[in-house]
Each structure stands twice: as structure tokens, then as C-alpha cells.
Amino acid sequence: MKTLKKKIAAAVYKGIAEIDPAAAVTEKDILSYLAYPPDDKLGDIALPCFRFAKALRMAPPVIASRLADGFECEGVASAETAGGYLNFRIDRAALMRRLFGEINADGLPYGGNDDGAGKTVVIDYSSPNVAKPFHIGHLGTTVIGHSLKKMHEFAGYKCIGVNHLGDWGTQFGKLTVAYRKWGSREAVEEKGIDELVALYVRFHEEAEADPALNDEARAAFTALEHGDPEITALWRWFIDISIAEYKKTYRQLDIEFDYYTGESFYTDKMPAVVDELKSKDLLKLDDGASIVDLEEYGMPPCLILKRDGSTLYPTRDIAAAIYRKETFDFDKCIYVTSAGQSLHFAQWFKVLELMGRDWYKDLVHVPYGTVSLNGSKLATRTGNVVLLKDLFAEAIEKAAAIMAEKNPELAGREDVAESVGIGAVVFYYLSANRMRDINFVLEDALNFDGNTGPYAQYTYARTCQILKKAGEYAPDGFEMNDDEFALCKTLALFPETFDQALAEYEPSIITRYVLDLCAAFNRFYHNCPVLTAGSESVKALRLALTGCTNKVLSSALELICVRHPEKI
């Protein structure tokens, strides 16, 4: 549709120029006005001519009539007026012929592009706090971030995935104190991160009764900052245990990071940031703390140093951004975190601007809503979490049970169950606009009926099995009935859908498209027999539509991190 809409825009622009050569209307304007009518009876593509009333000094119905008179455009069968609208009917055979060629062409995958060729994007996502569990609260940054990485790769960018681990801060002082008082190496080696979490939770319980423990924790972290050998060894051990555990979950999600560079990596890079802020007279003292005053820009001050001279998150993030620019020379650096951190990012982005870093404009914060569990806020210290590994295990178990009932002879059922179970959770999360707060209800996430991940995966598997049974095919005609054309039009929407999703950093646009494509294909499948079609030419056309659906579904599911097995 993208190509056809551009052709229509060019033809309309020519028509407007004939009406009034001086009209202040561009092809880009016209392209942005083209829309898809809610009812197919109104046409396939519509142009609201009231948009041109001021420029042409005419009533919209008159404009529509003038433009429709003698309208010609390759790929358009007719142009009809309806009040102030100009409605276009697509040449069905021409669209299908072009679509089949584009989807099956060598080179760039259909829907993708090379807009990012020669450009580098750094994507900072997932970034759990070391020695804390990987729970559903981390699902957003992880799957949104990885989906954005895949989307940028689909647009030709070189992508660098960075896991900015939370491996620094007073929580390590708390964990050190808890380990020394109540832990043991044997228990940690046996239970791994679960034992570290238990120690962390116990620290907060004990500190309620004995607040002096918090002082011990602060002292332990200060010792870590000064390189205490024993505490440093414990800290590194905690990190190794945590990463080993996180990688199990990343494997299930098919995620690999280029770098695990946490906050501690930038410790020796922060003094240069502080010195530069001082040299540029940006740093001010406020009640003993060092800040950058942002009142002029409608924001609270950005804290750079505490009273005791220790650094804070903005200091580390500024140092990290400078390091990444110098190391990777990125064209864009994306941060995927909760919406609650939006002010934080706005502040230190502004500080970089004030420092004279003109690439501050290439920093992008992609926020997302919060996750609650059955209406309750998640909190590690109280133990109110659902671990991703437990959620995935339950999803996989349910998927395996369903497949054992429906397809007991399926080969490789364990691997397929993992793909379907985890796909159900990921698809559920990415179905909603990323800014929407999600109340995570396990029963809904693991519902295998309706508009879900398993429904999309079953649809893809259905296309695979049809094509496998059919063997070779070559369409010799492209005339279509209504159900065939409806599927063709949905397939044709993929490139502009992808463009919108990438521009808005919004994976849910792809997820919703997947559901639309599945619905269009399943209507087609039930109304238009494929393997038992009445003639070989009709069969070949329907196989062509099935093959196109197979390829587009594969690409779309890949973009939202959902595996797509060929048999379920």
C-alpha cells in the first residue's frame, strides 16, 4: 500500500496543480491525508478533500468532483466521489501481482528497509538489579527493548544491545551485612540467586526492628567503594551468580547482549564528568550537595554529588552516555525504562545539552507503564513478586498439556511447548500500548483462546502445513474474490505498519497487526478452500496468498520476540 499511496498522492498533486498551480499543497501533505475507510463499500483508500478547501477556495464536494474527472493512476481501478471525499478502488490483480513479487523478492525482507544503513543504534534495556530476582516487573524493559532492537535491525541499523546492570549502590552493603550475619557460601552455591533474595528480604525485616543495621549497610558499601578486598570479592561473586541466573531467562527469550556493562563500569569515568561540570560553571552547591540548576527549564535540580561526595544515578548515566558516544559513535542511543524515570532522563539529557554535547538530541527515552500483580504493587523487599522463571514454567506446562491433548504425536513437543508458553506471555505483554499500566493476571496471560500468542502461532503453523502438503506452486493469474482481496490488502499494510511502529517505538502496533493478519487469513482459509480449490489456477493463487501470509507472519512475530514453530 505504501507504494500505491505514493502514486495516488503524485496523481492527486498533479490534479490540484491543474486546478490551481499556486495552491499551497505538497505531495507529502496529500500522502498524509490518505486513509483507509472503515467500510470497504466506501472504497479501498479515501482522500478527505476538505483538507484542500482553504488552499483551493472551493467546496470539498467540488474539489472531489474535479479531481475524480479523468483521474488516472497505475494500480487504481476507479476514483469515485462521496460528498467531500474522493474514494479509490484498487486494481486487485495489479496489487496482488506486485505484492507477490515484493514478498518473494531476493534482498531486503518485505516490510523492512535500509533507512538505517551505515547508522548505529545503542539500546540500553533489561538492566536488572544484581542479586535481585528477575520478575515480571522486568518483563517490560526486556521484551520492549529487544523488540525495538529487532525493529531497528529490520530497518538496516547496526544495533548494540547493552545490559546496564544495577551492580552498584547501598543494596550491596545490605546484602553484605545480611550474608555475614545469616548466610553461608554453601547455601548460596546451592540455591543461587534465590538465597541472595532471601537474605535481602531478611535484612529489611530485621532492620525494621534494628535500624542500626542500615548504618552497617552504608558502612559496608563505603568500604566497597574504597576497594575493601573481602567485600569486593563478595560483590563480584554476587554479580557472577546473578548473571548466570539471568542468562537462563534470556536464553528462553532468545536474547543475547553485546555488553553487560553495569553501573560500576563507569565508576572511574565519573570524576571527569564532575570536573567538566565544574569547569563550565554548571555545578552549584545546595545544602552541601552538588547540583545542576534546571529551574530555568521547568525541572528540579539534577543532583550530581551527595553531601559526602558520592555520585548518583545522573552522574553515572552521563558518564555512560559519553563513553558510549566515544566508543560506538552512535546515531541514536535508546533507553527503555519505566515511565517513572521520565524526569530523571529529561534532567540528565538537559545537563548533557548544557555541557555542549550536541548529540544529546540523539538520546531517546522509551518509557512504559507499571506492572502490578493482581492489583498489588511489586516489591522485592516484601517478597511480593512472581519470578519470570516460575511464570514461564507454568506457561510451558499449560502449553504442553494442551498439545498432549490436541496433538499427542507431535515430535519435539517439549521445545514447542516452550515456544508456545513463553510466546503466550510475551505476546500478552506486547499486546497493550507500552504506556498502559498492566495488572498482570496469570489466567489472562496464559489464556490460549482468542487474540493471544498461541492463536497467532497456530495460524503460522497452519500456513506451514498447507504449503508443505502443496509442494511447488506458481500462480498464473491474480484475479481475486472479496475474501482473497481482504487478505491481500492486509498483507499490503505490513510495510507502513512497520514504519509506524518504528517511528513510535511501539511494538504493540506490530502485535495488533499480527492479530489482524491472522483474522484475515483464517477468514480466507474457512471461506476459500486452498488444497481442494476448484481449479489449478485458483489453487495456485490461494497458495500464493498462503505463502505470502507465512512469510509476513514470520517476520512480524520475529519483530515482537515470539517464536513460531512450524508444527503445534
Residue type, 410: L
Q: What is the reported pTM?
A: 0.92
Residue 23 has pLDDT above 70, yes or no: yes
Please tell me the distance from the alpha carbon of residue 24 to that of residue 348, in angstroms, as a whole number. 41
Predicted local distance difference test score (pLDDT) of residue 69:
92
Distance, first Cα to last Cα, the chain: 32
Provide the pLDDT for residue 378.
54
Structure confidence at residue 375 (pLDDT): 61
pLDDT band at 33 (very low <50, low <70, confident <90, very high): very high
Q: H helices within 504-535, ranges in order?
A: 507-527
- Determine the average pLDDT of the residues in 172-201: 93
The answer to whether domain 2-90 has CATH 3.30.1360.70 is: yes
What is the average per-residue pLDDT within 511-537? 95
Residue with cell 529487532: 150
Question: Under a CB-based contact definition with an 8 Å cutoff, are residues 220 and 171 in contact?
Answer: no
CA atoms within 13 A on the CB side of 154: 28
| 321-326: long-range contacts, CB 8 A cutoff, minimum separation 24 | 321/348, 321/352, 321/363, 322/269, 322/273, 322/352, 322/357, 323/266, 323/269, 324/122, 324/162, 325/357, 325/359
Of 58-67, 308-317, 500-509, minimum mean pLDDT range: 308-317
What is the average pLDDT across 176-202? 93
pLDDT at residue 374 in the model: 63
How do residues 34-47 score in pLDDT, each as one tens digit?
A: 999 988 888 999 99
Are the C-beta atoms of residues 325 and 269 closer than 8 Å to each other?
no
Q: Quick one: average pLDDT of 234-245?
A: 93
Q: Which fold has domain 389-559?
A: Isoleucyl-tRNA Synthetase; Domain 1 (1.10.730)
Say yes or no to pLDDT of 348 above 90.
yes
Q: Contact at 8 Å (CB) between 29 and 69?
A: no
* HSE toward the beta carbon, residue 277, CA cutoff 13 A: 26
Place of cell 558518564: 319
Q: How far apart are CA 415 and CA 75, in angstroms?
A: 45
Contact 456, 518 (CB under 8 A): yes
Grid cell locating 308: 559526602
Is-contact 546 530, C-beta < 8 A?
yes
Q: State the number of CA atoms in the 13 A half-sphere of 517 facing the CB.
A: 31
Q: Residue with C-alpha cell 487474540?
A: 451
Dist. CA 47–CA 124, nearest whole Å:
41
Cα–Cα distance, 174 to 203 (Å, whole number): 7
Please list, in sequence order, all residues whose beta carbon lies within 8 angstroms of the beta carbon of residue 224, skipping any fewer than 6 positions away.
172, 173, 176, 231, 232, 235
Q: What is the mean pLDDT of the chain?
A: 92
Task: Return the SS3 of 85.
Answer: strand
Residue ranges covered by each domain of the chain: 2-90, 389-559
Residue 424 and residue 418 in contact, taking contact as beta carbons nearer than 8 Å: no
Q: Could you tell me if 487 and 459 are in contact, meaning their C-beta atoms sit under 8 angstroms apart? A: no
Q: How far apart are CA 280 and CA 285, in angstroms?
A: 14
Indicate left, alpha or beta for 107 from its phi (over 0: left) and psi (-120 to 50: alpha).
left
Rounded to whole angstroms, the Cα distance separating 290 from 312 reads 11
pLDDT of residue 136: 82
Neighbouring-strand partners of residue 373:
376, 440
Question: Would the pLDDT of 373 be above 70?
Answer: no
Q: How far is CA 1 from CA 73, 96, 206, 477, 543, in A?
A: 14, 11, 63, 20, 21
The rounded distance, in Å, linking the Cα atoms of 504 and 23 is 31
Which DSSP state fits 114?
Answer: -
Dump strand ranges (E) for 369-506: 371-373, 376-377, 438-440
pLDDT tens digits along 248-279 = 999 999 999 999 999 999 989 999 999 999 99
Distance CA 304, CA 482 (A): 63
Say which residue, 119 or 398, is predicted with more confidence: 119
Q: Residues 6 or more apart from 383 whose CB is under 8 A from it?
A: 201
- In eight-state DSSP terms, residue 3 is H
To 10 degrees, what angle do helices 536-559 and 507-527 make? 160
Average pLDDT on 165-186 reads 93
Same fold, 2-90 and 389-559: no
**Whether the predicted pLDDT of 459 surpasses 90:** yes
In contact, 352 and 302? CB cutoff 8 Å? no
CB 154 within 8 A of CB 559: yes
Compute φ and ψ for 148, nearest 5 degrees. Answer: -65, -35
- Which pLDDT score is estimated for 410? 87
Residue 545's φ and ψ, nearest 5 degrees, are: -65, -40
- Convert the pLDDT of each residue in 436-446 to its tens digit: 988 877 677 66
**pLDDT interval class at 508 (50, 70, 90):** very high
Q: How far is CA 181 from the centre of its chain?
A: 42
- pLDDT for position 514: 98
Is residue 424 within 8 A of residue 394, CB to CB? The reply is no
C-alpha cell at 159: 544495533
Residues sharing a CB contact under 8 Å with residue 357, sequence separation 6 or more, in sequence order: 322, 325
- The confidence score (pLDDT) of residue 26 equals 93
- Sheet of 371-373: strand order equals 376-377, 371-373, 438-440
DSSP for 196-226, please give it: HHHHHHHHHHHHHH-THHHHHHHHHHHHHHT
